[in-house]
Amino acid sequence: MRRRTFLVATAGAVVAAGLADWATPPDRAVAAPDPTSPVIPVRTDLAAVAGTVPGLTLDGELSDDRWGDPHWQSFTTLYALDDVPDTELFAVHDASTLYAGVRLSGDQAATVTHVTFLLRADQDREGPYRTVTVELREVSPQPNFSSWGGDTEELADPRTAFAAGEGETSCAVAVPLSELGISGDVAGQVVSLNVVVDHEDQTRPVTSVAPTRTSDNTYSGGSASMATDVVDEDRAALVHLGSVAAVAEGRQAAELAEPEQFRLD
């Protein structure tokens, strides 16, 4: 399964045709720039197409070949915004479910405690993000997030699976599209997605696939409580289900951004 991941310079304006002619995509989630400012805007418009895969096996090890290649191959630290390689994010779907998986390799694999998936249908921009947190290891003190920067709802009974190892750790979630308000023909629907990886205290920094700009870390009683603004600042990548929707009438076609020319303030 061949994936196409691309960076767009205007929020929501993605062209269905001509993807094969786009330049080599970045392998990390970099925010699309505002052409009038060197400062990255609120919206993170790294987009990917999730392939259509019926009957995916959810085993935690991402062993089903139909996961294909990862959409993104590195995450970004919350505070220093450093690139963290060997962290892969996958996304596929069928008629009723979005599947997302994360694989970490190397030394970082042994210290992962939680992976949180934050999702919202792009048609429901005023609604809360839905969250799924996979606990991979029980440690004390247990790191935790006190806030995602706005309204969230934890999914009641999601399907999850994981495999926690020393050299490789992976997990996967199956999210019913109906829980995101998506029904009927799902082709071309768009889901905003951010994934946050947490580690044991005093080991490795927290990372996310879409960079966040506002974060806080509070220490109390020997444990840390963290917060990062995903919701109100809409810090998420865009996952298109099956195909990319055509540009709306009157909208200008997107152009590739040059992320190295821009910075976070």
Residue 11, pLDDT above cutoff 80:
no
Domain membership of residue 257 (yes or no) is: no
Lowest-pLDDT choice from 42-46, 91-95, 108-112, 218-222: 42-46
173-199: pLDDT as tens digits:
999 999 999 999 898 899 999 999 999
pLDDT for residue 2 is more than 60:
no
Asked, for residue 21, whether it belongs to a domain, the answer is: no
For residues 54 and 35, what is the distance between their CA atoms, to the nearest angstrom?
A: 40
Q: Taking 70 as the threshold, does the pLDDT of residue 162 lie above it? A: yes
pLDDT at 140: 74
The answer to whether position 198 is within a domain reads: yes
99/80 Cα distance (integer angstroms): 30
Nearest to 210 by CA among 146, 147, 116: 116
- Between residues 5 and 158, the one the model is more confident about: 158
Judge whether 40 lies within some domain: no
In a domain, 24, yes or no: no
Closest CA relative to residue 180, chosen from 171, 193, 197: 193
Residues 134-150: tens digit of each pLDDT:
999 987 777 678 889 99
Question: CA angle at residue 224 from 220 to 227, to 5 degrees?
Answer: 115
Question: Roughly how many angstroms between the first and final C-alpha of the chain, as a whole number?
Answer: 37
16 domain residue, yes or no = no
Let me know: does 110 contact 166? Beta carbons within 8 Å. yes
> Does any domain span residue 228?
yes
Residues 6 or more apart whose CB falls under 8 angstroms from that of 166 comprise 109, 110
Residue 258: inside a domain, yes or no? Answer: no
Q: Which residues of 97-127 are buried (b: 16+ CB within 10 A; e: fewer)?
A: bbbbbbbbeeebbbbbbbbbbbbbbbeeeee
pLDDT at 16 over 50: no
Mean pLDDT of 208-213: 89
Residue 224 belongs to domain spanning: 52-232
- pLDDT, tens digit (0-9, with 9 covering 90-100), for 22-31: 233 334 343 3
Q: What is the pTM of this model?
A: 0.77
Considering only residues 246 and 52, tell me which one the structure prediction assigns the higher pLDDT.
Answer: 52
Here the CATH number for the domain that contains residue 118 is 2.60.40
Task: Report the pLDDT value the prediction gives residue 68, as an integer from 0 to 100.
Answer: 92
Per the structure, the count of domains in the chain is: 1
Q: What is the pLDDT averaged over residues 226-233?
A: 88
According to DSSP, the residues that pair with 174 across neighbouring strands are 99, 159
